[in-house]
Amino acid sequence: MEQLKLKSLSFAYPQAKTFALDQIDLTVEQGEFLTVCGESGCGKTTLLRLLKPELAPGGVRQGEVLLTGHPIEQLSSRESAAKIGFVLQNPTHQIVTDTVWHELAFGLENLGVPCEEIRMRVAETASFFGIEPWFRQNISTLSGGQKQLVCLASVMALRPEILILDEPTAGLDPIAAQEFLSAVGTLNREFGTTVILSEHRLEEAIPLSNRVLVLDAGRIAALGSPHEVGEILTQKDHPMRLALPTPQRIYHAVDRGDTAPLTPRDGKVWLNEFAKTHPPDASRIPQDTVPQGEQVITAKDVWFRYEKEGEDVLRGMNLNVHRGELFALVGGNGAGKSTALTILAGQESPQRGKVCMGGNVCVLPQDVQTLFVGNTVKEFLGEDCVEVAELCRIGHLLELHPYDLSGGEQQRAALAKLLLCAPDLLLLDEPTRGMDAFFKREFAEILNDLRARGVTVLLVTHDLEFAAEYASRCALLFDGEVLSCSTPRAFFSQNRFYTTAANRMAGELLARAVTAEDVILACGGVVPSPPKPPQTPQQRSAPNVQKESHRPSSFLAMMTPILAALTVFLGLRFFGPKRYLLTGLLILLEVTVPFFLAFERRKPPASEIVTVSVLCALAVAGRGAFFALPQVKPALAVVIVAGLSLGMESGCLVGAMTVLVSNFFFGQGPWTPWQMLALGLIGLLSGLLPKNIGRGALCVFGFLSALVIYGGILNPASVLIAHEAPTLKLILAAFASGLSFDLIHAVSTAGFLWFFSNPMREKLRRMRQKTVDFSMVK
Amino acid sequence: MAVFHPFVSLCYFASVIFCSMFFSHPILLLISLFGAVFYAWTLKLKTLRFLPVFLLAMLLNPIFSHEGMTVLFYLPSGNPYTLESLVYGGKVALTLMSTVCWCFCFQRVMTGEKIHCLLSRVAPTLGLVFSQILALIPRFFEQTRAVIRAQKGLGRAEDKRVFVRMKRSIETFSTLTTWALEHAIETADSMKARGYGLPGRSAFTRFRFSVRDWLALALVFLTLAACLLTRGLAFRYFPTIRWSVAPGGILGALSYFLLCFYPVILSVWEVRRWNN
């Protein structure tokens, strides 16, 4: 039965000159497993998002998408949520709530499923996916692979008929990725769920798929069974053939047999059969060159543990690297690879042993986004970046925002930043994670250019294929020490399990063959020439600038002070002893509750909820960034910016929630409600400020609100809590004792606003534009 | 209290904190304080470290307030330091100390999940926001550490100057903010993909209200009513200290004792059951 039908579907982003998708015709049968692949920017994500109305990008769409015969736009939101499951790329950011059980229940809550049924469905989903052992844990304690599994399970709890996954394994290490894909495969096989998966890790995905779709610049380059697609790609000499599984690549380059082998097992059978008639010639495999020269990295008997009572992570590690090498340190999870890197970078010093680094060391972090500052790549790199940018092949991207680059481009931008620090030694932490085959090749070329200039590269990686193909030497780190270290062919050919797919397939016949190219050469095939770099960078469109109107709830704003004044008048008159405290508490309720309820009743859209949460979390966690300046806390400044940018209702909410959550982490007290009042009030007032307020005026506002409003509420409150009849003298004493703290608070808030208010408002504006851009469906 | 439904815990803590703030009889304050300190002790919380601060508050009170008839000595300013003000200072210190101790216990018992459960009953959207913030904070702290590490990896030397430290902190915060806001879009997408925004959203919690919760709730309200409604304990601080006790007052004090020591009694009972 045909489930999904695309009839000459075309799509263009607003203001773009070219179509992101051009005339796509596709039918997906029920229970099918379709893998969509193509180079970065080929339109994979756009295609998948168009299949889910809620996520469809804004722009011009032609043609039709039919779900079991009906146009997909006619699907109600409820049906769409239940029938089409969508898993996004980054597991950390698509998780909405704080605990595993709540994340699993989230979608069911949205559909309004009754609690008892949610309990049942969450339970069965959790036990199917093997999530039970960590069912009650906080998301933050999980590994990347576990998080992505939670995302999958939370989508599957809705029992969708179609499951769409957009590069779900890009951020995972190979083992977690394999586990994740096999879970997807099980869903497809055992439950007949239709799967549409976009992937660059084809080695694992293709054996699971019925059909493969290759996109190229928005058009279908190949569509069919894995075997057919391999044939087409080889015929066209298409760059995507590099991404095919190793056995298939070898098969198509040698081109003998009936059907292409997809797994190393089939590959081995096929190769043995092939070798009977065409004995392979091992002498055609190129020789490794053993690197020589000056040693620039030496680690001798290095022992390290993080805590005094902790376990040793490195146990006598020895390492020697020569100048100009590309040295790959491989090993499983928890072998101590990242620790070794921090030691070599000098970020930690070993307890025993000696590390000697000859030259300036720079480290490329695993998550390159940790380096990004500035609004354009040029700003990020600094003025004299042209030469380095050309070297890293990002010369044409300098005017873009770093976050508008694709994953591989971001990696290269970060590398450029590192090169500006003129390193002699470059340490890279998992640089190929999330890169497609093409980007990997290009990245390796850049690294080779650097080596030619005398830079030494040491990389820590899970990616054995990359290490085998490009490294000058590989070393295995296991249990805190380097066990074997030699040139790639010598290194991998001695291994049986921890080795490349090509070696697993051909190792018995050709011991020295570790890459697909080795096997192809030995079998007398032709190694395909390296593909040309993509001609033009993807067309990018400037998002439409749209103003979002904020409807201020002026009724609330007017009523609240009146109500408060009335309470003061009546409370002080009629309440008995402790009337001041009681009156104060009442006012507190009157001021905050209506705003909370207004927020509740308005049913704010997802993007607003997330913005509020992010700002609150920034206000609380921001102090982490200022650990070097312990008196400085950014909370108040963030609240003011929130009120200014989002309006008084959200400002008030951000203020009050920030206090609630911050005290949840750092200690509740009788002062919590008063702090909520103070920060809520400040957030509310900043919502009333003119939108185009200058930076200086904002700083003055920040200074005064810290001193007058925050101090003015909390100092008397501390007296009210304990005293029945507070005298003026007591209150003044409280002000006096709090003055030094209030002054620091006021000055730091003003300082924050001086440095941050404009960039932060700019960032919020950018985010709002993006969400508006994406929510203009149809 | 941790074993009950969050609503019961909330009612309990609201009652004891309210009473601790509003009662002014020293006996009642002492009952509350000891209840809170023992409870904190069973929760493995250390509360006695606050003692010096509160003693200081007690001794300082007569310097600001000079009411009372019994003059102990005269301050250099010429104002009297009176016994009544000192005792009243003790009352203030007791109030603060017991309230803070109860708040500490509240903090330990009311986990994020429980607060979320309560919030989502009255305001599901706020409950969701709360849960989301709790998810984001550890993520942000972790990212902050990663950013600091990455900056170190650029080969910069450690610098102790305040200006440089400030500049780097600002850079860190800026990087964190951009990262947080850019990825917020993905979170919003993921919410939309799973049907967020449909009418009739339900709020799921893992807690169920059982018979035991009803019983505990009844006990809390009964004891609270008893100690609020009975009269007969009077204590006057100014101008001279006077007190009186009536039978009703003893009943009130006893029920207040039961209220404040309820969690301690429960945990003692629990320990004994394990030992048998």
In the DSSP assignment, the letter for residue A376 is S
Contact status of B29 with chain A (Cβ, < 8 Å):
no
Q: For a pLDDT cut of 70, what percent of chain A falls above it?
A: 93
Cis peptide before B247 (omega within 30 of 0): no
DSSP track, B89-110: HHHHHHHHHHHHHHHHHHHHHS
Say yes or no to pLDDT of A559 above 90: no
> A 115-134 residues with CB below 8 A of B?
115, 118-119, 122
What does the block give as tokens for A170? 């890009």
DSSP track, B194-234: TTTT-SS-----S----HHHHHHHHHHHHHHHHHHH---EE
Q: What contacts A704, CB < 8 A, 6 or more positions away?
A: A746
- Quote the CA–CA distance of A299 and A315 in Å, as a whole number: 12
Of B21, B171, B194, the CB nearest to A721: B21
Taking only the tens place, the pLDDT of each residue in A337-396 is 888 998 998 888 899 999 988 888 899 998 899 999 888 898 898 888 888 888 888 888
Instruction: Give the pLDDT band (50/70/90) at residue A212.
Output: very high
Mean pLDDT of A264-268: 89
Best residue in A48, A78, A90, A93 to probe B by mutation, most B CBs within 10 Å? A93
Contact status of B39 with chain A (Cβ, < 8 Å):
no
- Quote the CA–CA distance of B196 and A108 in Å, as a whole number: 10
Look at A756 and B190 and tell me if their CB atoms are within 8 Å: no
Contact status of B136 with chain A (Cβ, < 8 Å):
yes
Contact status of B183 with chain A (Cβ, < 8 Å):
yes
Query: For residue A587, what is the enclosing H or E element?
Result: helix A579-602
Q: Find the length of chain B.
A: 276
Q: B-chain residues within 8 Å CB-CB of A607?
A: 184-185, 188
> A 598-657 residues with CB below 8 A of B?
599-600, 603-607, 609-614, 616-618, 620-622, 624-626, 628-629, 632, 634, 653, 657
Contact status of A757 with chain B (Cβ, < 8 Å):
no
Contact status of A111 with chain B (Cβ, < 8 Å):
yes
Taking only the tens place, the pLDDT of each residue in A290-335 is 888 888 999 999 999 988 888 888 999 999 999 989 999 998 877 8
Does residue A93 contact residue B186 with C-beta atoms inside 8 Å?
yes
In the DSSP assignment, the letter for residue A14 is T
Q: How close is the nearest chain A Cα to the Cα of B62, in Å?
A: 11
Mean pLDDT of A118-139: 93
What does the block give as tokens for A161? 């008929």
What does the block give as tokens for A751? 């300082």
Q: What contacts A177, CB < 8 A, 6 or more positions away?
A: A145, A169, A201, A204
Query: For residue A198, what is the enclosing H or E element?
Result: strand A194-198
DSSP track, A48-60: HHHTSGGGPPSSE
Instruction: Give the pLDDT band (50/70/90) at residue B70.
Output: confident
Instruction: Give the pLDDT band (50/70/90) at residue A545.
Output: very low
Best residue in B47, B194, B201, B238 to probe A by mutation, most A CBs within 10 Å? B194
Instruction: Give the pLDDT band (50/70/90) at residue A470.
Output: very high
**Mean pLDDT lowest among A82-96, A515-529, A588-602, B118-132:** A588-602
**Mean pLDDT lowest among A59-68, A527-536, A682-691:** A527-536
Q: B81 φ, ψ to 5°? A: -105, 105
Look at B125 and A86 and tell me if their CB atoms are within 8 Å: no
Instruction: Give the pLDDT band (50/70/90) at residue A544.
Output: very low
Sheet holding A314-322, edge to edge: A314-322, A295-304, A352-357
Does residue A647 contact residue A685 with C-beta atoms inside 8 Å?
no
Question: Taking Cα atoms as reference points, which of A431, A437, A481, A493 lies closest to residue A458?
Answer: A431
Q: What is residue B35's predicted lDDT score, i.e. its pLDDT?
A: 94
Query: For residue A213, what is the enclosing H or E element?
Result: strand A211-216
Best residue in A369, A421, A731, A752 to probe B by mutation, most B CBs within 10 Å? A369
Count chain A–chain B contacts defined by CB atoms under 8 A.
Answer: 339
Look at B129 and A616 and tell me if their CB atoms are within 8 Å: yes
Query: For residue A458, what is the enclosing H or E element?
Result: strand A456-461
Residue A352 DSSP SS3: strand
Question: Taking Cα atoms as reference points, which of A135, A134, A108 lies closest to residue A123?
Answer: A135
- Quote the CA–CA distance of A324 and A321 in Å, as a whole number: 9
Question: Taking Cα atoms as reference points, which of A320, A75, A47 lies closest to residue A197?
Answer: A47
Question: Taking Cα atoms as reference points, which of A33, A153, A150 lies closest to residue A92?
Answer: A150
- Quote the CA–CA distance of B143 and A383 in Å, as a whole number: 27
Residue A354 DSSP SS3: strand
Q: What is residue A538's predicted lDDT score, i.e. its pLDDT?
A: 44
Taking only the tens place, the pLDDT of each residue in A31-49 is 999 999 988 778 888 999 9
> A 64-83 residues with CB below 8 A of B?
77-78, 80-82
In DSSP terms, B242 is beta-bridged to B236
Contact status of B240 with chain A (Cβ, < 8 Å):
no
Best residue in B113, B115, B177 to probe A by mutation, most A CBs within 10 Å? B177
- Quote the CA–CA distance of B43 and B101 in Å, as a whole number: 11
Q: What is residue A554's predicted lDDT score, i.e. its pLDDT?
A: 58
Q: How close is the nearest chain B Cα to the Cα of A247, in Å?
A: 36
Look at B150 and A599 and tell me if their CB atoms are within 8 Å: no
Say yes or no to pLDDT of A543 above 50: no
- Quote the CA–CA distance of B252 and B230 in Å, as a whole number: 6
| Residue matched to tokens 């000098």 | A346
Look at B129 and A88 and tell me if their CB atoms are within 8 Å: no
Q: Identify the burial level of A547 via C-beta atoms within 10 angstroms of its C-beta, where 0-12 means exposed, 13-18 middle and 19 or more buried.
A: exposed
| Residue matched to tokens 């069911």 | A108
Look at A609 and B21 and tell me if their CB atoms are within 8 Å: no
Mean pLDDT of A425-435: 87
Q: Which is more confidently placed, A215 or B200? A: A215
Say yes or no to pLDDT of A535 above 70: no
Question: Taking Cα atoms as reference points, which of A472, A518, A463 lies closest to residue A491?
Answer: A472
Contact status of B239 with chain A (Cβ, < 8 Å):
no
Taking only the tens place, the pLDDT of each residue in A473-492 is 999 998 888 988 999 999 99
- Quote the CA–CA distance of A185 and B41 in Å, as a whole number: 52
Residue of chain B whose alpha carbon sits nearest to that of A598: B123
Say yes or no to pLDDT of A170 above 80: yes
Query: Could you give the dihedral angle defined by the CA atoms of residues B268, B269, B275 and B276, in that order, rounded to the nearest 10 degrees?
Result: 160
Q: What is residue A475's predicted lDDT score, i.e. its pLDDT?
A: 93
- Quote the CA–CA distance of B205 and A603 in Å, as a whole number: 20
- Quote the CA–CA distance of A295 and A320 in Å, as a whole number: 7
Question: Taking Cα atoms as reference points, which of B263, B256, B224, B251 lies closest to residue B108?
Answer: B263
Taking each helix axis from N to C end, the angle separating A695-704 and A728-775, rounded to the nearest 10 degrees, works out to 140
- Cα three-residue angle A578-A579-A584, rounded to 5 degrees: 105
What does the block give as tokens for A247? 């056995």
Of B113, B174, B193, the CB nearest to A54: B193
Mean pLDDT of B43-47: 84
Say yes or no to pLDDT of A550 above 50: no
Query: For residue A660, what is the enclosing H or E element?
Result: helix A648-666
Instruction: Give the pLDDT band (50/70/90) at residue A203.
Output: confident
Contact status of A704 with chain B (Cβ, < 8 Å):
no
- Quote the CA–CA distance of B147 and B172 in Å, as a whole number: 6
What does the block give as tokens for A587? 């006012």
Of B152, B183, B205, the CB nearest to A93: B183
- Quote the CA–CA distance of A591 and A575 in Å, as a whole number: 20
Mean pLDDT of A428-443: 85
What does the block give as tokens for B241? 């200290």
| Residue matched to tokens 């601790």 | B20
Taking only the tens place, the pLDDT of each residue in B94-103 is 988 898 899 8
Residue of chain A whose alpha carbon sits nearest to that of B91: A722
| Residue matched to tokens 């009642």 | B28
> A 394-413 residues with CB below 8 A of B?
403
Say yes or no to pLDDT of A542 above 70: no
What does the block give as tokens for B95? 């109030």
Question: Taking Cα atoms as reference points, which of B83, B51, B90, B49 lies closest to residue B66?
Answer: B83
Contact status of B157 with chain A (Cβ, < 8 Å):
no
Residue of chain B whose alpha carbon sits nearest to that of A346: B153
Contact status of B114 with chain A (Cβ, < 8 Å):
no
Mean pLDDT of B71-98: 87
Taking each helix axis from N to C end, the angle separating A100-110 and A115-128, rounded to the nearest 10 degrees, works out to 130
Instruction: Give the pLDDT band (50/70/90) at residue B133.
Output: very high
Question: Taking Cα atoms as reference points, which of A385, A358, A366 lies closest to residue A455?
Answer: A358
Look at B190 and A99 and tell me if their CB atoms are within 8 Å: no
Look at A370 and B143 and tell me if their CB atoms are within 8 Å: yes
Q: B-chain residues within 8 Å CB-CB of A722?
A: 92-93, 95-96
Of B96, B152, B193, the CB nearest to A86: B193
Say yes or no to pLDDT of B146 above 70: yes
Q: What is residue A772's predicted lDDT score, i.e. its pLDDT?
A: 64
Q: What is residue A577's predicted lDDT score, i.e. its pLDDT?
A: 65
Contact status of B113 with chain A (Cβ, < 8 Å):
yes
Q: B-chain residues within 8 Å CB-CB of A85?
A: 193
Mean pLDDT of B214-237: 88
Q: Pairing relation of β-strands A314-322 and A295-304?
A: antiparallel
Does residue A360 contact residue A297 with C-beta atoms inside 8 Å?
no
- What average pLDDT does chain A have? 86
Mean pLDDT of A59-88: 90
Q: Identify the burial level of B76 via C-beta atoms within 10 angstroms of its C-beta, where 0-12 means exposed, 13-18 middle and 19 or more buried.
A: exposed
Q: How close is the nearest chain A Cα to the Cα of B151, in Å?
A: 7
Say yes or no to pLDDT of A555 above 90: no
Q: What is residue A669's predicted lDDT score, i.e. its pLDDT?
A: 75
Mean pLDDT of A179-184: 94
Mean pLDDT of B93-112: 89
Instruction: Give me the amino acid identity at A562.
Output: I
ipTM comes to 0.88
Taking each helix axis from N to C end, the angle separating A728-775 and A711-722, rounded to the nearest 10 degrees, works out to 130
Q: Which is more confidently placed, A574 or A95? A: A95
Strands (E) in A245-330, as ranges, are 295-304, 314-322, 326-330
Secondary structure, 3-state, A461-474 = ECCHHHHHHHCCEE
Mean pLDDT of A595-608: 83
Measured from the Cβ of residue B14, the count of other Cβ atoms closer than 10 Å reads 14
Look at A722 and B92 and tell me if their CB atoms are within 8 Å: yes
- Quote the CA–CA distance of A570 and B147 in Å, as a whole number: 54
In the DSSP assignment, the letter for residue A329 is E
